[in-house]
Amino acid sequence: MSVVVPVYDVAAYLPACLDSLLEQTMSDLEVIAVDDGSPDESGAIADAYAARDPRVRVVHIENRGLGAARNEGIRHARGTYLGFCDSDDLMLPRALELLVAAAREGDAPMVTGNVVRLEGERRPRLAWLDRLHAEQRTIVIDDLPELLGDVFAWNKLFRRDFWDEAGLSWPERLRYEDQPGTTDAYLRAGRIAVVPEVVYLWRVRADGSSLTQQRGTVADLTDRWTTKKMALASVEAYGAPAVTDEFRDKVMAGDLPQYFAAIPSCSAEWWDLLVSGVRDLWGPERSLTGSALPPAQRLIGWLVEQDRRDDAALAVSYARGLGGPLPRVALDDGGTRVDVPGLDETTVAPEAWRLRDHES
């Protein structure tokens, strides 16, 4: 078993990460720490661990980014199974044992386990991941296309022979490289084992310095659209219309609310990029009004599609101030829609804010 740990500017977190790996109940383990040209003492910390524990090996490279560091670690890995752990996160002690057992029991070349957030002393559950990992089973992706939304590299194991034969790798010089990489793995694996137990603690840094906490920049959004398009191309090539539809409406749209939240303070360049990306992926024949987003987010998505920045900012700010669902308005036909005071109802398409039967 090989676990690759990319290391960059994480001196405050790396010891806890490596400790969590070395405390695994699986004895057959090698940890490959890839020092990606870290500017702090992270590389020295990794070297100190390697000096006192033969299970740790360190590779030092010039800075090339997360995807390249993972790929470099893979080249040095010797285990039958291949896993990944980000250097500011933690694995629970039985994580690798549980994942390997499920992969073997289901004869699956790929296995994924559940995740919780790590917010100081709190460990909040993620309802959507709990739903996807509700029970232990072995599936093909057609059975549960929404699993494509579990894009993380680090709550999974891959059989090394599968990884090599499928020609898998992580895209380099891109944020969110997990999405196209894991999408390709899901589509090529055939059998996928799903583990309900939490195996991974995903840290939310208090200083907001992790990549996933930097949504409001043009560089971040550019990479997000690029990786979404890469993943969509793979899904479309898979050739299963039901999988493609669920991927587009549930998986690809699922993280948009995190970007919509940045609309009130965004730059003109970022807004234009948001509009063009949404239109590329969901328009003109397929609108976010048909997605699985909640009602307020479907409305905001439609306003983005229409390039109505001021109205989108109004809806975002109003929803944020409420801290709960938008008010409801009864319609003459017996239906219901959401409401945003100040938004001219005569200028909004009915489907943009109408509630579905189960939402009323």
- The string of pLDDT tens digits covering residues 101-138 is 999 999 999 999 999 999 988 999 999 999 999 999 99
Type of residue numbered 355: L
Phi, psi of 182 (to 5 degrees): -70, -35
- Is pLDDT of 360 > 90? no
CA distance 81 to 4: 11
**pLDDT tens-digit map of 182-231:** 999 999 999 999 999 999 999 988 765 544 446 789 999 999 999 999 99
Per-residue pLDDT, 214: 63
Phi, psi of 15 (to 5 degrees): -55, -45
- Is pLDDT of 86 > 60? yes
Per-residue pLDDT, 213: 44
Residues sharing a CB contact under 8 Å with residue 291, sequence separation 6 or more, in sequence order? 248, 249, 250, 253, 282, 298, 301
Strand pairing report for 90-91 and 192-203: antiparallel
Per-residue pLDDT, 215: 75
Residue ranges in the chain assigned as alpha helix (H)? 14-22, 42-52, 66-76, 95-105, 127-132, 160-165, 178-189, 218-238, 241-246, 256-260, 268-282, 295-305, 309-322, 350-353
- Is pLDDT of 248 > 50? yes
β-bridge mates for residue 58, sequence order: 33
**pLDDT tens-digit map of 250-287:** 999 999 999 999 999 999 999 999 999 999 999 777 89
Return the SS3 of 324.
coil
Q: Respond yes or no on whether the N-terminal peptide bond of residue 15 is cis (omega within 30° of 0).
A: no
Return the SS3 of 78.
coil
Phi, psi of 170 (to 5 degrees): -95, 130
The domains of the chain are located at: 2-213, 253-359
Return the SS3 of 5.
strand
Per-residue pLDDT, 289: 95
pTM of the model: 0.93
Mean pLDDT of the chain: 95
- Is pLDDT of 140 > 90? yes
- Is pLDDT of 22 > 90? yes
Distance from CA of residue 2 to its chain's centroid? 22
Least confident of 88-102, 166-180, 204-218, 334-348: 204-218
* Distance, first Cα to last Cα, the chain: 50
Helices (H) then strands (E): counts for the chain: 14, 11
Average pLDDT score over residue span 142-169? 97
Average pLDDT score over residue span 305-330? 95
Above pLDDT 70, what percent of the chain?
Answer: 98
Residue whose pair of structure tokens reads 């990884």 in the numeric block: 163
The architecture CATH gives domain 2-213: Alpha-Beta Complex (3.90)
Return the SS3 of 118.
strand
Return the SS3 of 153.
coil
CA distance 152 to 86: 10
